[in-house]
Structure 1
Amino acid sequence: MKNTHETAAETDTSAVMAGRHITLDELATELSAIELRLRQLARAAEVPATPVELADVIDTLRTSAANLRDTGDRMGFLARIVDGDVPLATRFRDSDDPWGVAARGTDRPGFGGPAIVPTVWQLLKLAQDAKRPGAETTTYPEAMDGIGIGWESKAAAGRRRRERDAAVAIEVLRLPCEKCEAGEGEQCKTKTGWAAEKPHVGRQRQAEANVDERLGYLGDNPVAVPDAR
Protein backbone atom coordinates (compact mmCIF):
# COMPACT_ATOMS: atom_id res chain seq x y z
CA MET A 1 0.00 0.00 0.00
CA LYS A 2 1.31 3.45 -0.89
CA ASN A 3 1.95 5.80 1.99
CA THR A 4 0.12 9.06 1.24
CA HIS A 5 0.43 10.54 4.74
CA GLU A 6 4.09 11.04 5.55
CA THR A 7 5.03 12.19 9.04
CA ALA A 8 7.71 14.73 9.93
CA ALA A 9 9.80 11.97 11.51
CA GLU A 10 9.55 9.88 8.34
CA THR A 11 10.76 12.67 6.09
CA ASP A 12 13.78 13.45 8.30
CA THR A 13 16.40 11.12 6.82
CA SER A 14 19.46 12.80 8.37
CA ALA A 15 19.95 9.91 10.82
CA VAL A 16 20.41 7.30 8.09
CA MET A 17 22.75 9.02 5.65
CA ALA A 18 25.88 11.11 5.97
CA GLY A 19 25.40 13.27 2.86
CA ARG A 20 22.60 14.56 0.68
CA HIS A 21 21.99 11.08 -0.78
CA ILE A 22 22.13 7.67 0.84
CA THR A 23 24.78 5.31 -0.46
CA LEU A 24 24.11 1.62 -1.01
CA ASP A 25 26.73 0.86 1.64
CA GLU A 26 24.84 3.01 4.15
CA LEU A 27 21.57 1.36 3.13
CA ALA A 28 23.05 -2.11 3.68
CA THR A 29 24.39 -1.14 7.09
CA GLU A 30 21.12 0.44 8.23
CA LEU A 31 19.16 -2.62 7.11
CA SER A 32 21.57 -4.83 9.01
CA ALA A 33 21.01 -2.78 12.17
CA ILE A 34 17.22 -3.00 11.82
CA GLU A 35 17.43 -6.74 11.14
CA LEU A 36 19.50 -7.24 14.31
CA ARG A 37 17.04 -5.15 16.30
CA LEU A 38 14.12 -7.29 15.12
CA ARG A 39 15.93 -10.49 16.11
CA GLN A 40 16.66 -8.98 19.51
CA LEU A 41 13.00 -8.09 19.93
CA ALA A 42 11.99 -11.61 18.94
CA ARG A 43 14.30 -13.05 21.58
CA ALA A 44 13.08 -10.59 24.22
CA ALA A 45 9.45 -11.43 23.38
CA GLU A 46 10.08 -15.02 24.54
CA VAL A 47 9.97 -13.75 28.14
CA PRO A 48 7.29 -11.03 28.34
CA ALA A 49 6.58 -9.35 31.68
CA THR A 50 2.94 -10.39 31.39
CA PRO A 51 1.86 -14.00 30.70
CA VAL A 52 0.82 -13.66 27.05
CA GLU A 53 1.79 -16.19 24.39
CA LEU A 54 3.61 -14.19 21.70
CA ALA A 55 4.61 -17.09 19.44
CA ASP A 56 2.93 -15.56 16.37
CA VAL A 57 4.51 -12.17 17.02
CA ILE A 58 7.93 -13.77 17.45
CA ASP A 59 7.55 -15.67 14.18
CA THR A 60 6.56 -12.46 12.39
CA LEU A 61 9.56 -10.59 13.79
CA ARG A 62 11.96 -13.35 12.76
CA THR A 63 10.44 -13.61 9.27
CA SER A 64 10.74 -9.85 8.82
CA ALA A 65 14.34 -10.00 10.03
CA ALA A 66 15.17 -12.74 7.53
CA ASN A 67 13.65 -10.72 4.68
CA LEU A 68 15.64 -7.66 5.74
CA ARG A 69 18.83 -9.71 5.87
CA ASP A 70 18.29 -10.82 2.26
CA THR A 71 17.66 -7.23 1.19
CA GLY A 72 20.66 -5.97 3.15
CA ASP A 73 22.94 -8.60 1.59
CA ARG A 74 21.66 -7.59 -1.84
CA MET A 75 22.35 -3.91 -1.14
CA GLY A 76 25.85 -4.79 0.06
CA PHE A 77 26.56 -6.62 -3.19
CA LEU A 78 25.12 -3.72 -5.18
CA ALA A 79 27.44 -1.39 -3.31
CA ARG A 80 30.35 -3.42 -4.66
CA ILE A 81 28.83 -3.32 -8.13
CA VAL A 82 28.47 0.48 -8.23
CA ASP A 83 32.01 0.86 -6.88
CA GLY A 84 33.25 -1.11 -9.88
CA ASP A 85 34.44 -4.20 -7.98
CA VAL A 86 32.13 -6.60 -9.84
CA PRO A 87 32.36 -7.24 -13.62
CA LEU A 88 29.09 -6.84 -15.52
CA ALA A 89 28.04 -8.12 -18.92
CA THR A 90 27.85 -5.35 -21.52
CA ARG A 91 24.56 -6.74 -22.89
CA PHE A 92 21.53 -8.57 -21.61
CA ARG A 93 21.74 -12.26 -22.38
CA ASP A 94 18.02 -12.61 -23.19
CA SER A 95 17.89 -9.79 -25.74
CA ASP A 96 21.47 -8.78 -26.59
CA ASP A 97 20.48 -5.18 -25.75
CA PRO A 98 23.00 -2.76 -24.18
CA TRP A 99 22.47 -0.82 -20.97
CA GLY A 100 23.67 2.42 -19.39
CA VAL A 101 25.09 5.06 -21.72
CA ALA A 102 25.16 2.52 -24.57
CA ALA A 103 21.36 2.12 -24.30
CA ARG A 104 20.64 5.74 -25.17
CA GLY A 105 18.67 5.92 -28.39
CA THR A 106 17.77 2.22 -28.32
CA ASP A 107 14.33 0.68 -28.04
CA ARG A 108 13.27 -2.35 -25.99
CA PRO A 109 9.48 -2.53 -26.48
CA GLY A 110 9.32 -6.04 -25.09
CA PHE A 111 11.19 -5.11 -21.92
CA GLY A 112 9.66 -1.80 -20.87
CA GLY A 113 12.04 0.47 -22.73
CA PRO A 114 15.83 0.89 -22.79
CA ALA A 115 17.72 0.13 -19.56
CA ILE A 116 19.60 3.42 -19.36
CA VAL A 117 19.22 3.31 -15.59
CA PRO A 118 19.25 -0.41 -14.70
CA THR A 119 17.17 -1.94 -11.93
CA VAL A 120 18.50 -3.97 -9.02
CA TRP A 121 17.54 -7.24 -10.66
CA GLN A 122 19.04 -6.24 -14.00
CA LEU A 123 22.36 -5.49 -12.34
CA LEU A 124 22.34 -8.80 -10.49
CA LYS A 125 21.59 -10.59 -13.77
CA LEU A 126 24.37 -8.70 -15.55
CA ALA A 127 26.79 -9.72 -12.80
CA GLN A 128 25.75 -13.35 -13.22
CA ASP A 129 26.02 -13.21 -17.02
CA ALA A 130 29.51 -11.71 -16.77
CA LYS A 131 30.74 -15.05 -15.40
CA ARG A 132 29.90 -16.87 -18.64
CA PRO A 133 32.91 -17.97 -20.70
CA GLY A 134 33.79 -15.39 -23.33
CA ALA A 135 31.36 -12.79 -22.00
CA GLU A 136 32.24 -9.19 -22.83
CA THR A 137 32.32 -7.27 -19.55
CA THR A 138 32.39 -3.75 -18.22
CA THR A 139 31.95 -2.10 -14.82
CA TYR A 140 29.14 0.02 -13.48
CA PRO A 141 31.22 3.26 -13.40
CA GLU A 142 32.32 2.70 -17.01
CA ALA A 143 28.84 1.83 -18.32
CA MET A 144 27.12 4.68 -16.44
CA ASP A 145 29.68 7.41 -17.12
CA GLY A 146 27.71 10.57 -17.96
CA ILE A 147 24.39 9.39 -16.50
CA GLY A 148 23.02 10.75 -13.27
CA ILE A 149 22.63 14.48 -13.66
CA GLY A 150 18.97 15.28 -13.06
CA TRP A 151 17.98 11.64 -12.60
CA GLU A 152 15.18 10.89 -10.15
CA SER A 153 13.96 7.50 -8.97
CA LYS A 154 10.45 6.31 -9.81
CA ALA A 155 9.58 6.26 -6.11
CA ALA A 156 10.68 9.87 -5.61
CA ALA A 157 8.92 11.00 -8.78
CA GLY A 158 5.72 9.23 -7.69
CA ARG A 159 5.89 10.84 -4.26
CA ARG A 160 6.39 14.31 -5.75
CA ARG A 161 3.51 13.71 -8.16
CA ARG A 162 1.23 12.82 -5.25
CA GLU A 163 2.37 15.94 -3.40
CA ARG A 164 1.62 18.01 -6.49
CA ASP A 165 -1.86 16.50 -6.86
CA ALA A 166 -2.62 17.16 -3.18
CA ALA A 167 -1.50 20.79 -3.56
CA VAL A 168 -3.73 21.19 -6.62
CA ALA A 169 -6.75 19.83 -4.70
CA ILE A 170 -6.18 22.47 -2.01
CA GLU A 171 -5.62 25.23 -4.57
CA VAL A 172 -8.89 24.40 -6.37
CA LEU A 173 -10.90 25.31 -3.28
CA ARG A 174 -9.05 28.60 -2.95
CA LEU A 175 -10.23 29.74 -6.38
CA PRO A 176 -13.72 30.83 -7.43
CA CYS A 177 -15.23 28.92 -10.32
CA GLU A 178 -16.34 31.05 -13.27
CA LYS A 179 -18.50 28.22 -14.61
CA CYS A 180 -20.75 27.56 -11.63
CA GLU A 181 -19.80 30.55 -9.44
CA ALA A 182 -18.66 28.33 -6.58
CA GLY A 183 -16.79 30.48 -4.05
CA GLU A 184 -13.67 29.87 -2.01
CA GLY A 185 -13.95 26.65 -0.02
CA GLU A 186 -16.97 25.46 -2.04
CA GLN A 187 -17.18 22.45 -4.32
CA CYS A 188 -18.22 22.98 -7.91
CA LYS A 189 -21.93 22.45 -8.60
CA THR A 190 -24.02 21.02 -11.39
CA LYS A 191 -26.66 23.11 -13.20
CA THR A 192 -29.24 21.81 -10.74
CA GLY A 193 -27.13 22.69 -7.70
CA TRP A 194 -25.68 19.30 -6.83
CA ALA A 195 -22.17 19.42 -5.33
CA ALA A 196 -19.62 17.70 -7.57
CA GLU A 197 -16.49 15.92 -6.44
CA LYS A 198 -14.53 17.07 -9.50
CA PRO A 199 -14.15 20.78 -10.27
CA HIS A 200 -14.95 22.34 -13.62
CA VAL A 201 -12.13 22.22 -16.14
CA GLY A 202 -11.31 25.93 -16.01
CA ARG A 203 -11.02 25.96 -12.23
CA GLN A 204 -8.89 22.80 -12.27
CA ARG A 205 -6.66 24.18 -15.01
CA GLN A 206 -6.01 27.42 -13.12
CA ALA A 207 -5.25 25.54 -9.90
CA GLU A 208 -2.77 23.33 -11.72
CA ALA A 209 -1.10 26.36 -13.33
CA ASN A 210 -0.73 28.10 -9.95
CA VAL A 211 0.75 25.03 -8.26
CA ASP A 212 3.02 24.13 -11.17
CA GLU A 213 4.44 27.65 -11.19
CA ARG A 214 5.26 27.37 -7.49
CA LEU A 215 6.79 23.89 -7.79
CA GLY A 216 8.64 24.43 -11.06
CA TYR A 217 6.53 22.01 -13.10
CA LEU A 218 5.46 22.14 -16.72
CA GLY A 219 1.95 20.71 -16.73
CA ASP A 220 2.23 17.61 -14.57
CA ASN A 221 5.83 16.99 -15.59
CA PRO A 222 8.58 18.06 -13.18
CA VAL A 223 11.05 20.52 -14.65
CA ALA A 224 13.10 21.38 -11.59
CA VAL A 225 14.02 18.21 -9.73
CA PRO A 226 15.15 19.14 -6.22
CA ASP A 227 18.24 17.24 -5.05
CA ALA A 228 18.14 14.96 -8.09
CA ARG A 229 21.28 13.05 -8.99
Structure 2
Amino acid sequence: MRTGHQHESATETDTAHLMAGKAVTFDELATELSAIELRLRQLARAAEVPATPVELADVIDSLRSTALTVRENGEHMGFLARVVDGQVPLATAFPTGDPWGVAARASDRMDFGGPAIVPTVRQLFKLAQDATRAGTKTTTYPEAMTGLGIGWESRAAGTRRDMERHTAVAKESLLLTCEKCGANEGQPCRTKSGWAADVAHSDRRRAAEAIVDERLGYLGKNPVAVPEAR
Protein backbone atom coordinates (compact mmCIF):
# COMPACT_ATOMS: atom_id res chain seq x y z
CA MET A 1 0.00 0.00 0.00
CA ARG A 2 1.25 3.47 -0.86
CA THR A 3 1.78 6.05 1.85
CA GLY A 4 2.05 9.83 1.66
CA HIS A 5 5.27 11.46 0.48
CA GLN A 6 6.57 8.16 -0.88
CA HIS A 7 8.90 9.56 -3.51
CA GLU A 8 11.83 7.44 -4.65
CA SER A 9 13.68 10.24 -6.46
CA ALA A 10 13.29 13.64 -8.04
CA THR A 11 13.63 12.40 -11.63
CA GLU A 12 10.99 12.62 -14.35
CA THR A 13 10.98 8.84 -14.78
CA ASP A 14 10.07 8.24 -11.12
CA THR A 15 6.33 7.69 -11.51
CA ALA A 16 5.70 4.57 -9.41
CA HIS A 17 4.30 6.62 -6.53
CA LEU A 18 1.56 8.00 -8.81
CA MET A 19 -0.13 4.68 -9.48
CA ALA A 20 -1.30 1.58 -7.70
CA GLY A 21 -0.96 -0.67 -10.79
CA LYS A 22 1.32 -0.86 -13.81
CA ALA A 23 -0.24 2.18 -15.47
CA VAL A 24 -1.81 5.32 -14.08
CA THR A 25 -5.60 5.52 -14.13
CA PHE A 26 -7.65 8.60 -14.92
CA ASP A 27 -8.97 8.56 -11.37
CA GLU A 28 -5.41 8.65 -10.03
CA LEU A 29 -4.53 11.48 -12.42
CA ALA A 30 -7.55 13.45 -11.24
CA THR A 31 -6.58 13.00 -7.58
CA GLU A 32 -2.94 13.91 -8.15
CA LEU A 33 -3.90 17.01 -10.14
CA SER A 34 -6.29 18.04 -7.35
CA ALA A 35 -3.43 17.83 -4.87
CA ILE A 36 -1.16 19.89 -7.16
CA GLU A 37 -3.87 22.52 -7.59
CA LEU A 38 -4.31 22.83 -3.83
CA ARG A 39 -0.54 23.08 -3.35
CA LEU A 40 -0.32 25.89 -5.92
CA ARG A 41 -3.11 27.84 -4.22
CA GLN A 42 -1.41 27.35 -0.86
CA LEU A 43 1.87 28.64 -2.28
CA ALA A 44 0.09 31.67 -3.73
CA ARG A 45 -1.46 32.42 -0.34
CA ALA A 46 1.85 31.98 1.49
CA ALA A 47 3.61 34.22 -1.06
CA GLU A 48 1.36 37.12 -0.05
CA VAL A 49 3.57 37.65 3.01
CA PRO A 50 7.13 36.45 2.25
CA ALA A 51 9.87 36.50 4.90
CA THR A 52 11.64 39.26 2.99
CA PRO A 53 9.55 42.21 1.74
CA VAL A 54 9.36 41.83 -2.04
CA GLU A 55 6.17 42.42 -4.02
CA LEU A 56 5.25 39.05 -5.56
CA ALA A 57 1.92 40.03 -7.12
CA ASP A 58 2.90 38.78 -10.59
CA VAL A 59 4.16 35.47 -9.18
CA ILE A 60 1.00 35.04 -7.10
CA ASP A 61 -1.22 35.74 -10.11
CA SER A 62 0.78 33.24 -12.15
CA LEU A 63 0.47 30.55 -9.48
CA ARG A 64 -3.29 31.05 -9.21
CA SER A 65 -3.68 31.03 -12.99
CA THR A 66 -1.69 27.80 -13.22
CA ALA A 67 -3.84 26.34 -10.44
CA LEU A 68 -6.97 27.02 -12.51
CA THR A 69 -5.45 25.25 -15.50
CA VAL A 70 -4.50 22.29 -13.33
CA ARG A 71 -8.04 22.19 -11.91
CA GLU A 72 -9.51 22.07 -15.43
CA ASN A 73 -7.20 19.20 -16.36
CA GLY A 74 -8.15 17.41 -13.16
CA GLU A 75 -11.84 17.80 -13.97
CA HIS A 76 -11.19 16.41 -17.44
CA MET A 77 -9.44 13.38 -15.94
CA GLY A 78 -12.36 12.86 -13.56
CA PHE A 79 -14.74 12.92 -16.52
CA LEU A 80 -12.57 10.44 -18.41
CA ALA A 81 -12.58 8.13 -15.39
CA ARG A 82 -16.37 7.94 -15.70
CA VAL A 83 -16.14 7.52 -19.48
CA VAL A 84 -13.75 4.57 -19.44
CA ASP A 85 -15.84 2.91 -16.72
CA GLY A 86 -18.80 3.01 -19.11
CA GLN A 87 -20.85 5.46 -17.03
CA VAL A 88 -21.15 8.08 -19.80
CA PRO A 89 -23.16 7.39 -23.00
CA LEU A 90 -21.23 8.30 -26.16
CA ALA A 91 -22.41 8.82 -29.73
CA THR A 92 -21.38 5.93 -31.97
CA ALA A 93 -20.14 8.37 -34.62
CA PHE A 94 -19.17 11.99 -35.13
CA PRO A 95 -21.60 14.46 -36.79
CA THR A 96 -19.80 13.74 -40.08
CA GLY A 97 -20.78 10.09 -39.78
CA ASP A 98 -17.19 8.98 -39.13
CA PRO A 99 -16.93 6.11 -36.62
CA TRP A 100 -14.40 5.81 -33.80
CA GLY A 101 -12.76 3.04 -31.80
CA VAL A 102 -12.97 -0.49 -33.23
CA ALA A 103 -15.48 0.69 -35.86
CA ALA A 104 -12.89 3.16 -37.23
CA ARG A 105 -10.44 0.43 -38.17
CA ALA A 106 -9.80 0.32 -41.91
CA SER A 107 -11.83 3.50 -42.43
CA ASP A 108 -10.50 6.07 -44.90
CA ARG A 109 -11.23 9.24 -42.97
CA MET A 110 -8.79 11.93 -44.13
CA ASP A 111 -9.97 14.98 -42.13
CA PHE A 112 -8.98 15.80 -38.55
CA GLY A 113 -5.85 13.63 -38.58
CA GLY A 114 -7.35 10.42 -39.90
CA PRO A 115 -9.48 7.71 -38.23
CA ALA A 116 -10.18 8.29 -34.53
CA ILE A 117 -9.32 4.74 -33.51
CA VAL A 118 -8.02 6.07 -30.19
CA PRO A 119 -10.10 9.19 -29.46
CA THR A 120 -8.73 12.35 -27.88
CA VAL A 121 -10.14 14.01 -24.77
CA ARG A 122 -11.81 16.68 -26.90
CA GLN A 123 -13.38 14.07 -29.16
CA LEU A 124 -14.79 12.19 -26.16
CA PHE A 125 -16.28 15.41 -24.81
CA LYS A 126 -17.95 15.96 -28.20
CA LEU A 127 -19.21 12.37 -28.37
CA ALA A 128 -20.67 12.67 -24.88
CA GLN A 129 -22.37 15.95 -25.80
CA ASP A 130 -23.81 14.50 -29.01
CA ALA A 131 -25.12 11.46 -27.11
CA THR A 132 -27.58 13.69 -25.24
CA ARG A 133 -29.43 14.57 -28.44
CA ALA A 134 -32.68 12.75 -29.06
CA GLY A 135 -32.47 9.93 -31.55
CA THR A 136 -28.67 9.65 -31.38
CA LYS A 137 -27.38 6.09 -31.38
CA THR A 138 -25.10 5.62 -28.37
CA THR A 139 -22.50 3.26 -27.03
CA THR A 140 -20.04 3.21 -24.14
CA TYR A 141 -16.26 3.48 -24.16
CA PRO A 142 -15.70 -0.17 -23.11
CA GLU A 143 -18.03 -1.37 -25.88
CA ALA A 144 -16.52 0.84 -28.58
CA MET A 145 -12.91 0.08 -27.64
CA THR A 146 -13.11 -3.69 -27.13
CA GLY A 147 -10.00 -5.25 -28.66
CA LEU A 148 -7.99 -2.02 -28.86
CA GLY A 149 -5.15 -0.75 -26.72
CA ILE A 150 -2.69 -3.63 -27.01
CA GLY A 151 0.76 -2.25 -27.75
CA TRP A 152 -0.53 1.33 -27.84
CA GLU A 153 1.30 4.38 -26.51
CA SER A 154 0.34 8.03 -26.71
CA ARG A 155 1.61 10.42 -29.36
CA ALA A 156 3.31 12.41 -26.60
CA ALA A 157 5.24 9.32 -25.49
CA GLY A 158 6.27 8.60 -29.07
CA THR A 159 7.50 12.18 -29.55
CA ARG A 160 9.47 12.03 -26.30
CA ARG A 161 11.06 8.72 -27.28
CA ASP A 162 12.04 10.14 -30.66
CA MET A 163 13.71 13.13 -29.00
CA GLU A 164 15.52 10.89 -26.51
CA ARG A 165 16.73 8.69 -29.38
CA HIS A 166 17.92 11.75 -31.34
CA THR A 167 19.91 12.99 -28.33
CA ALA A 168 21.39 9.55 -27.72
CA VAL A 169 22.45 9.22 -31.38
CA ALA A 170 24.13 12.64 -31.30
CA LYS A 171 26.12 11.65 -28.19
CA GLU A 172 27.00 8.23 -29.60
CA SER A 173 28.25 9.80 -32.84
CA LEU A 174 30.94 11.64 -30.90
CA LEU A 175 32.21 8.32 -29.54
CA LEU A 176 32.97 7.14 -33.07
CA THR A 177 35.48 8.26 -35.68
CA CYS A 178 34.23 9.58 -39.01
CA GLU A 179 35.76 8.08 -42.15
CA LYS A 180 34.27 10.89 -44.26
CA CYS A 181 36.03 13.85 -42.64
CA GLY A 182 38.50 12.16 -40.27
CA ALA A 183 36.90 13.47 -37.09
CA ASN A 184 38.18 11.53 -34.09
CA GLU A 185 36.33 10.54 -30.92
CA GLY A 186 34.93 13.62 -29.19
CA GLN A 187 35.28 15.78 -32.31
CA PRO A 188 32.35 17.01 -34.43
CA CYS A 189 32.26 16.34 -38.14
CA ARG A 190 33.58 19.09 -40.37
CA THR A 191 32.79 20.44 -43.80
CA LYS A 192 35.35 20.42 -46.64
CA SER A 193 36.22 23.98 -45.69
CA GLY A 194 36.83 23.01 -42.06
CA TRP A 195 33.66 24.31 -40.43
CA ALA A 196 32.34 22.27 -37.50
CA ALA A 197 28.96 20.68 -38.22
CA ASP A 198 26.15 20.15 -35.73
CA VAL A 199 25.07 16.92 -37.49
CA ALA A 200 27.43 14.02 -38.13
CA HIS A 201 28.09 12.66 -41.60
CA SER A 202 25.58 10.01 -42.67
CA ASP A 203 27.86 6.97 -42.26
CA ARG A 204 28.93 8.05 -38.78
CA ARG A 205 25.33 8.83 -37.84
CA ARG A 206 24.01 5.50 -39.16
CA ALA A 207 26.64 3.61 -37.17
CA ALA A 208 25.60 5.53 -34.05
CA GLU A 209 21.91 4.84 -34.76
CA ALA A 210 22.59 1.10 -35.00
CA ILE A 211 24.33 1.11 -31.63
CA VAL A 212 21.63 3.21 -29.94
CA ASP A 213 18.74 1.21 -31.44
CA GLU A 214 20.28 -2.05 -30.29
CA ARG A 215 20.75 -0.63 -26.80
CA LEU A 216 17.18 0.71 -26.65
CA GLY A 217 15.62 -2.35 -28.23
CA TYR A 218 14.42 -0.42 -31.29
CA LEU A 219 13.84 -1.60 -34.83
CA GLY A 220 14.70 1.48 -36.82
CA LYS A 221 12.96 4.29 -34.94
CA ASN A 222 10.23 2.03 -33.60
CA PRO A 223 10.39 0.33 -30.21
CA VAL A 224 10.34 -3.45 -30.45
CA ALA A 225 9.00 -3.59 -26.92
CA VAL A 226 7.81 -0.50 -25.08
CA PRO A 227 7.63 -1.06 -21.28
CA GLU A 228 4.91 1.55 -20.76
CA ALA A 229 2.80 0.47 -23.75
CA ARG A 230 -0.28 -1.62 -23.16
Residue deviations 1:175-219 (CA, integer Å, cap 9, x gap): 121222222112222334333222221111111112112222222
Distance 1:180-1:45 versus aligned 2 partners, 3 A rule: closer
Shift of 1:75: 0.9
Of the structure 1 ranges 31-40 and 144-153, higher mean CA displacement relative to structure 2 is found in: 31-40
Are 1:122 and 2:118 an aligned pair?
no
Letter paired with 2:75:
D
Paired residues in the alignment total 222
Distance 1:54-1:114 versus aligned 2 partners, 3 A rule: same
Match for residue 176 of structure 1?
Answer: 177
Are 1:57 and 2:65 an aligned pair?
no
Shift of 1:8: 4.9
Residue deviations 1:9-52 (CA, integer Å, cap 9, x gap): 22211222222211000000111111111222222223333333
Shift of 1:153: 0.6
Match for residue 3 of structure 1?
Answer: none
Distance 1:98-1:188 versus aligned 2 partners, 3 A rule: same
When normalised by structure 1's length, the TM-score is 0.91
Distance 1:25-1:180 versus aligned 2 partners, 3 A rule: same
Of the structure 1 ranges 40-49 and 145-154, higher mean CA displacement relative to structure 2 is found in: 40-49
Distance 1:183-1:140 versus aligned 2 partners, 3 A rule: same
Shift of 1:100: 0.3
Structure 1: 5+ residue runs without aligned partners? 1-6
Structure 2: 5+ residue runs without aligned partners? 1-8
Percent identity over paired residues: 71
Of the structure 1 ranges 81-90 and 218-227, higher mean CA displacement relative to structure 2 is found in: 218-227
Match for residue 187 of structure 2?
Answer: 186
Q: 2:14 aligns with which of 12, 20, 24?
A: 12
Coordinate RMSD, CA, aligned: 1.6
Q: 2:32 aligns with which of 11, 30, 35?
A: 30
Are 1:90 and 2:92 an aligned pair?
yes
Letter paired with 1:124:
F
Match for residue 80 of structure 2?
Answer: 78
Question: How many angstroms apart in 1 are the aligned matches of 2:177 and 2:19?
Answer: 44
Question: How many angstroms apart in 1 are the aligned matches of 2:149 and 2:208?
Answer: 32
